[in-house]
């Protein structure tokens, strides 16, 4: 059960009753239980209620009735059972003391994403939490489709210890597990900074340019080696851009039209903006594309490399400072300073080795469908194809997103359902949830 503010010493040793009601849900059950308890003058210490598939579980922790209340515990038990029977509900009442102790220190939110989430994987995650000395205080479902997402509130063990243990279990059982320290920082307005290629969008932009230059295979091989950390990014960038020399600048518009947003990208950005977050992108790609993304999605910040154009043709060179691995981390810090957001309240999302410094510098680094070296180094990893699942790591539920979209009568770009992403281009919906 959740812990109420009533954790004063006067409650620690007070005799209490744990009243549990279970059965078919209908209006009036909660009011009926507390009207029944009110006759005995008890105080409410804690409450939790859950409805699953039309079945209600209502749990109340109350002080035991004293002589001054004019009734004994036995009378309360009999009255509650009689009321429950009249409502065709089951009741259980357990007496005790010290039932409202504060939760243990070392509190974390453990978000588990499964497609599907199996009983076996859930058992493994729960057992691993116990093995670290943690206690599961609460479990809450964040989403049921197209990904099942649940959140465990855990106390009694350190976040870093949990993260290490659960990362291994998650990988073993094919589920994503993210562990985030509990606290006010999770509720604070934040800055979210994303990589672009294979993160915000499904494509590698330089490969789209290469398709028009007829050198796709050569560029793709160099890109793959750079993302695996086998090549210095700056050297690989210059080598790949050199292959584009001579392309007519009109190819930029063609590439923009070819860009496909990642499923859930538009939903993620739209929801973050509603929450008051600032959102930016940093890319080893090119401003010729990121500038269009910034305008299309209403991003607050954007930085990338710039392809040099002379006399209407690409020269095969880039201009200005190179946005490489170190550059991405530097830009994250700059954006945070400009946004007035402490670095520990930033979130970075990326997939490649050149994102590692940025992921490590952020308060929360999320590896999105990333290379193994990136998944191992990031704070959290998401390996489902929907970018808006990052919202679950922030404690946002699917129902909240859908409710906000449904209430927004001015929204004209309602996203299609997950799974249609292959048909979504820049300027259209993103294949994310509505």
Question: Catalytic positions, please?
Answer: 195, 197
Task: Report the alpha-carbon distance of residue 362 to residue 346 in Å, rounded.
Answer: 5
Task: Report the alpha-carbon distance of residue 363 to residue 341 in Å, rounded.
Answer: 11
Task: Report the alpha-carbon distance of residue 75 to residue 179 in Å, rounded.
Answer: 46
Strands (E) located in 171-245: 176-181, 191-194
Name residue 365's beta-bridge partners: 348
Task: Report the alpha-carbon distance of residue 333 to residue 304 in Å, rounded.
Answer: 15
* 155 close to 111: Cβ distance less than 8 angstroms: no
Classify the C-alpha dihedral 298-303-309-315 as positive or negative. negative
Find the length of the chain. Answer: 434
Tokens standing for residue 342: 């402490």
Nearest Cα to Cα of residue 187 among 394, 414, 424, 413: 394
Task: Report the alpha-carbon distance of residue 220 to residue 222 in Å, rounded.
Answer: 6
Could you give the 3-state DSSP secondary structure of residue 164?
helix
Classify the C-alpha dihedral 396-398-399-402 as positive or negative. positive
DSSP secondary structure letters along 210-221: HHHHT-HHHHHH
């Amino acid at each position: 059960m959740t812990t109420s503010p009533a954790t004063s010493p006067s409650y620690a040793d007070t005799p209490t009753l744990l009243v549990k009601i279970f059965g078919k849900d209908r209006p009036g059950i909660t009011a009926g239980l507390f009207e029944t308890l009110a006759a005995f003058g008890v105080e409410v210490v804690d409450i939790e209620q859950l409805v699953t598939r039309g079945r209600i579980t209502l749990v109340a922790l109350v002080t035991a009735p004293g002589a001054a209340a004019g009734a004994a515990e036995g009378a309360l038990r009999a009255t509650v059972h009689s009321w429950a029977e009249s409502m065709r509900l089951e009741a259980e009442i357990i007496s005790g003391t010290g039932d409202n102790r504060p939760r243990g220190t070392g509190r974390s939110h453990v978000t588990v994403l499964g497609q599907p989430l199996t009983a076996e994987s859930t058992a493994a995650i729960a057992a691993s939490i116990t093995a670290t000395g943690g206690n599961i205080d609460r479990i809450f479902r964040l989403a049921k489709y197209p990904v099942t997402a649940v959140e465990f509130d855990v106390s009694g063990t350190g976040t870093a210890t949990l993260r290490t243990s659960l990362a291994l279990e998650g990988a073993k059982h094919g589920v994503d597990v993210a562990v985030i320290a509990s606290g006010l920082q999770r509720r604070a307005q934040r800055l979210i900074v994303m990589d672009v290629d294979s993160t915000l969008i499904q494509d590698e932009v330089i490969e789209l340019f290469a398709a028009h230059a007829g050198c796709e295979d050569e560029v793709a091989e160099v890109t793959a080696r750079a993302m695996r950390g086998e090549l210095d990014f700056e050297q690989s960038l210059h080598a790949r851009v050199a292959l584009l020399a001579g392309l007519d600048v009109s190819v930029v518009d063609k590439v923009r039209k070819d860009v496909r947003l990642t499923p859930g990208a538009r939903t993620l950005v739209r929801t973050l903006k509603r929450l008051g977050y600032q959102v930016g992108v940093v890319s080893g790609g090119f401003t010729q594309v990121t500038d269009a993304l910034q305008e299309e999605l209403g991003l607050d910040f954007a930085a990338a490399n710039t392809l040099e154009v002379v006399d209407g043709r690409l020269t095969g060179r880039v201009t200005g400072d190179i946005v490489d691995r170190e550059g991405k981390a530097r830009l994250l810090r700059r954006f945070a300073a400009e946004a007035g957001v402490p670095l520990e309240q930033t979130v970075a999302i990326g997939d490649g080795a050149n994102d590692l410094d940025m992921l490590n510098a952020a308060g929360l680094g999320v590896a999105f469908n990333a290379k193994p070296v990136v998944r191992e180094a990031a704070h959290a990893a998401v390996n489902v194809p929907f970018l808006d699942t990052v919202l679950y790591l922030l404690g946002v539920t699917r129902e909240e997103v859908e409710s906000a979209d449904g209430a927004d009568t001015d929204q004209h770009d309602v996203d299609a359902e997950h799974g249609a992403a292959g048909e979504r281009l820049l300027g259209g919906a993103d294949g994310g949830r509505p």
